[in-house]
A and B are shown apart, each in its own frame.
Chain A
Amino acid sequence: MNENRAPQGARGPAGGRPGPAIEVSGLVKDYGKGRGVFDVSFAVERGEVFGFLGPNGAGKTVTMRNLMGFIRPDEGAVLIDGLNCFSRRSRIQEHLGYLPGEIACMDEMTGTAFLEFMARMKKLRDRTRMEQLIEYFELDPARKIRKMSKGTKQKVGLVCAFMASPDIALLDEPTSGLDPLMQSRFIDLVLQEKRRGATILLSSHLFEEVERTCDRVAFIREGRLAAVERMDDVRRTRKRVFVVTFADYFARDRYAQAHPDAQKQGAANIEISVAGSLDAFVKDLAAYDIVDLTAREQTLEELFMHLYGTTEQVEKGGSHE
Chain B
Amino acid sequence: MNRTLFAKELRANLFVSFIIVAVLAMYIGVIVSMYDPELGESLDAMMQSMPEMFAAFGMATQATTLLDFMLNYLYGFLLTIFILVLILVMVNKLMVRYLDRGAMAYLLATPNSRTRIALTMVGVLATVLVGLMVATTALEMGFGEALFPGELDMQALLQVNAGLLALWLAMAGLCFLSACLFSNATAALWVGGGLNILFFLMQMASQVGDKFEFLENVNPLTLFDYYGLAAGDASAVGGAVALAAGAAVLFAAAVAVFDRRDLSI
Query: Chain A interface (Cβ within 8 Å of chain B)?
Result: 65, 68-72, 89-91, 93-94, 96-98, 100, 102, 104-108, 117-118, 120-123, 160
Contact = CB atoms under 8 A, between A and B. Distances in A.
Contacts of A89: 108, 113-114
A193 to B, nearest CB: 17
B262 A68 contact: no
Given A70-B105, A104-B101, A106-B103, A93 B263 contact: no
Contacts of B105: 68, 70, 98, 100, 104
Contacts of A117: 4, 8
Nearest to B106: A118
Contact of A100 (B12, B106, B113, B116): B106
A71 B113 CA distance: 14
Most B CB within 10 A of own CB, among A89, A102, A104, A122: A104
Q: Would you list the 3 A-B pairs with minimal beta carbon distance, nearest first?
A: A104-B102, A121-B110, A90-B113
Given A65-B264, A71-B263, A72-B262, A122 B103 contact: no
B262 A71 contact: yes
B146 interface: no
B103 to A, nearest CB: 5
Q: Could you say which of B2, B5, B111 has the most chain A C-beta atoms within 10 Å of its C-beta?
A: B111
Q: How large is the interface on B (under 10, 10 to 19, 20 to 34, 35 or more residues)?
A: 20 to 34
B4 A93 contact: no
Nearest to B2: A121
Contacts of B265: 65, 70, 100
Given A98-B105, A102-B102, A104-B102, A121 B112 contact: yes
Interface in B123-173: none
B30 interface: no
B102 A121 contact: no
Interface string B1-43: 0101100100010000000000000000000000000000000
Contacts of A91: 111
Nearest to A94: B111
A70 B108 contact: yes
A98 B108 CA distance: 10
Contacts of A105: 103, 106
Nearest to B3: A120
Contacts of B116: 90
Given A104-B103, A105-B103, A71 B264 contact: yes
24 contacts: A70-B108, A70-B264, A71-B262, A71-B263, A71-B264, A89-B108, A89-B113, A89-B114, A90-B111, A93-B108, A93-B111, A94-B111, A98-B109, A100-B102, A100-B105, A100-B106, A104-B102, A105-B106, A106-B106, A117-B8, A118-B106, A121-B107, A121-B112, A123-B111
Highest count of chain A CB atoms <10 Å: which of B2, B107, B109, B264: B109
B111 A118 contact: no
A107 B105 CA distance: 14
Nearest to B102: A104
A121 B186 CA distance: 29
A123 B5 CA distance: 12
Interface string B242-265: 000000000000000000001111
Contacts of B109: 68, 93, 96-98, 100
Contacts of A96: 109
Contact of A160 (B2, B106, B111, B113): B106
A124 to B, nearest CB: 10
B89 to A, nearest CB: 14
Contacts of B102: 100, 102, 104
A122 B101 contact: no
Contacts of B12: 108
Contact of A121 (B4, B262, B264): B4
A90 B111 CA distance: 5
